[in-house]
Every structure is written in structure tokens, then in C-alpha cells.
Amino acid sequence: MHRPLIPVETAPVDRLAETPAARLLVVEDDEQVGSGLVTGLSQEGFSVLRVANGEDALGACSSSDYDLVLLDIGLPGIDGFEVLRRLRAARRMMPVMMLTARDAIDDRVRGLDLGADDYMTKPFALPELAARARALIRRVATRAAPRLVHGPLTLDLAGRRAFIQGAAIELAAREWEVLILLLERVEKVVSKDAFINALIGFEHEITPNAIEVYISRLRSKLDAAGIRIRTVRGFGYMLEEYRERNAAL
């Protein structure tokens, strides 16, 4: 018999996560780790529900959709591998990131073979977990919505190509990621820390000064088309709503 599921949610912090707040299911039996994940991810702007065992995880996933499941492997009763196997067998295809204290390659391979989308080994830094969660959610959204349009700007997400009024423009990989984050939050300020977290995983360390460079490069490619990236001093950057008259300014 399932125990009652008690959602642990806070008002989304209008900072780093998707709008509306992305819904995360955390499956973690360790009370201290689980509570820390709920608090930290809620502060990152996610809407979070936590359960402590595999049976409740399956019940939660059968009754509701989540943007991402953070699934611990070492659960009491039904372990994380079996939870993942049953989810995929039931055609529940929400993205799953496995969390485990194990670092054996065999465990990673097994999780990925069962249909996991990503894998993190404990201990991990919360900012990296949040950044990878956002990246994974964006990747799934890209498959569902293959284009982003902002005035004359069109991004072909599947092909990773950008066009202004049908003419292709060249974007470096980091410029692309910065632009995606701005487009996801039009008229909302994106902090430099948010950009840095979104670029985790690139070869070289990302600094606030580097973000300024990428913004400058984007402006040089977008300003003539009336696409404005505003500097909000002390906070970050904001992509303004497109107004056709801007193109003539």
C-alpha cells in the first residue's frame, strides 16, 4: 500500500529555472540528502516533490508527469534500476538522472542501458546538479519543439542553426547556449551565474568576463535586426520583447 505522497514545494525563485517552474521528482531515501536536495533545488527555481522509496516513485510517476526524475539507485525494496526498468516498460519516457554513491562503470552502463538520460555520482555540487538538470530538460524540450522564434530570429534547435529573416548567421557553441537561455526567459533577467552554470561541461572554465564577451558578440549579430539584449547592472542581462520599430533604430 502506498504511503501518502506529500509534495514539498516552495514558491519558485525567479532566477535560474524554466518558466513555469520545471517539476522534479526526487527519489532519495536518505533523509539528510533528500531534504537538502528539496531545499536547494527549490531555491534554484524548481518545483520539487520527494519520495523515499521505489514503490512511491512508481506511484508518483503513474499519476503525474514530471520534467525530470532524480533517481537514487540504492533504494530500500525496489532499487533504482528496477524503478527505471518498470518506468520504461510502461512507456513513461520522462527524463531520468541516476544518483548514486557507486562509481563503478558497470553501474553507469547498466543505468544507461535501462534508459537513464544522465548520471551523477555522490557527492556532487548542487549548482552542477541544477545546471545539468536544466540542460537535460532543455534537451527534451528541444525534441518536442524543434524551433524557437523571436521576431525575425529563428533557431532550428535540432540542426543547431540560426537565421535572421531566412539568412543564416554563425553562432559559436557558447554563443548558442547563451542565446538559448535568453530566449527561454524573454523579459526576465538572467544572471551571470545562470549563464556560467548553463555552460558547465565546456572544456575551459567560464568566467563572468567571458559571459560579457559572448553577450557582446551576440549583440553585434542581432542588434541590426532589432533584437535587443539589455544590461541590467548588478544583476545580469535580459532579452527584450521584439518590437518591429527597433530594427529601424
- Domain holding 40: CATH number? 3.40.50.2300
Specify the number of domains making up the chain.
2
Q: What is the pLDDT of residue 145?
A: 60
Task: Report strand pairing: 161-164 vs 153-156.
Answer: antiparallel
Name the phi and psi angles at 17, rounded to 5: -95, 180
Q: What is the pTM of this model?
A: 0.55
The answer as to whether 207 is a domain residue is yes
Q: Are residues 88 and 152 in the same domain?
A: no
User: Of 125, 141, 157, which residue sits at a domain end?
Assistant: 141
What gap in Å lies between CA 105 and CA 65, rounded to an integer?
A: 30
pLDDT(1) > 90: no
Q: Are residues 195 and 127 in the same domain?
A: no
Q: Are residues 183 and 240 in the same domain?
A: yes
Q: E strands, the chain, where? A: 23-27, 47-51, 68-72, 96-100, 118-121, 147-150, 153-156, 161-164, 167-169, 190-191, 229-232, 236-239
Q: Are residues 135 and 223 in the same domain?
A: no
What gap in Å lies between CA 171 and CA 187, rounded to an integer?
A: 22
**Using 50, 70 and 90 to split pLDDT, how confident is the model at 165?**
very high
Q: Are residues 117 and 32 in the same domain?
A: yes
**Using 50, 70 and 90 to split pLDDT, how confident is the model at 8?**
very low
**Using 50, 70 and 90 to split pLDDT, how confident is the model at 106?**
confident
Question: What average pLDDT does the segment 134-153 reach?
Answer: 79
Alpha carbon 208 to its chain centroid, in Å, reads: 20
Range of weakest confidence among 137-141, 168-172, 190-194, 205-209: 137-141
pLDDT(183) > 70: yes
The total number of residues shown for the chain amounts to: 249
Instruction: Give the rounded percent of residues in the chain with a pLDDT score beyond 70.
Output: 84
Question: What average pLDDT does the segment 4-13 reach?
Answer: 34
Question: What average pLDDT does the segment 177-184 reach?
Answer: 88
Rounded (10°) angle between helices 80-89 and 105-113: 20
**Using 50, 70 and 90 to split pLDDT, how confident is the model at 247?**
low
- Parent domain of 156: 146-248
Question: What average pLDDT does the segment 93-118 reach?
Answer: 83
Q: Are residues 76 and 178 in the same domain?
A: no
Task: Report strand pairing: 153-156 vs 147-150.
Answer: antiparallel
Q: What average pLDDT does the structure give for the chain?
A: 83
Cell numbers representing residue 152 in the block: 525575425
The answer as to whether 69 is a domain residue is yes
Cell numbers representing residue 225 in the block: 535586426
Closest CA to 176 of 192, 190, 156: 156
CA distances from 81 to 51, 73, 98, 109 (A): 16, 6, 9, 11
**Residues contacting residue 163 through CB under 8 Å, at least 6 positions apart:** 153, 154, 155, 156, 169
